[in-house]
Amino acid sequence: MSFNQHFAVETSVGNFVIELKVKQAPITCAYFIQLLSSGTLTNGTLFRVLTDKNQQAAPRINVVQLGSDKKLDELRTTIEHESTSISGLSHKKWCVSLARFNPGEAYQSFFVCMRDEPALNFGGTRHPDGQGFACFGGVVKGYEVVEKLYKIAGHQEMLEPAINIDSYHLVN
């Protein structure tokens, strides 16, 4: 695959579109496209929002996290970790990145950066192993929807109730 693909995320708040950076992060994008194509993300939610006010960990990051928040240990999948040192991408505002346990150990979840987050890059200090997270795309349409979703959290980290994702689907 040598071209970038797009997928739409539809919520009750509105829709947004993410461009997958297939050339820079082919392994992570293939994993994500497989999740979309297989319906694995069906019935997903936006379940976590990190703001400066609702987290203890340092450095604090500002992200919205989508996917599955259920039985995370059972969702573990191993893929090659495409850190930002490999992809050349970085965690700038609107970056989309794969949530993980250990490097290459994903769990059907991704997050959108709400501001530049260098602590999430390779060598960053957000994860103790310093390997950073695998940035694999970015929001290209519907920024105002993502901003609304971010503001819904208030002081919650884990949203109760989570916001249902009506649909994820690939678009051209």
Beta carbons of 77 and 27 less than 8 angstroms apart: no
pLDDT at 1 over 50: no
Report the CATH fold assignment for 5-171.
Cyclophilin (2.40.100)
Ordered by start, the domain boundaries in the chain are: 5-171
* Gap between the Cα atoms of 140 and 49, Å rounded: 20
pTM of the entire predicted model: 0.93
- Encode pLDDT of 69-90 as tens digits: 566 666 678 999 999 999 999 9
Taking residue 33's Cβ as centre, other Cβ atoms within 10 Å add up to 16
Residue 46 CA, chain-centre distance (Å), reads 10
Rg over CA atoms, the chain:
15
* Gap between the Cα atoms of 107 and 172, Å rounded: 26
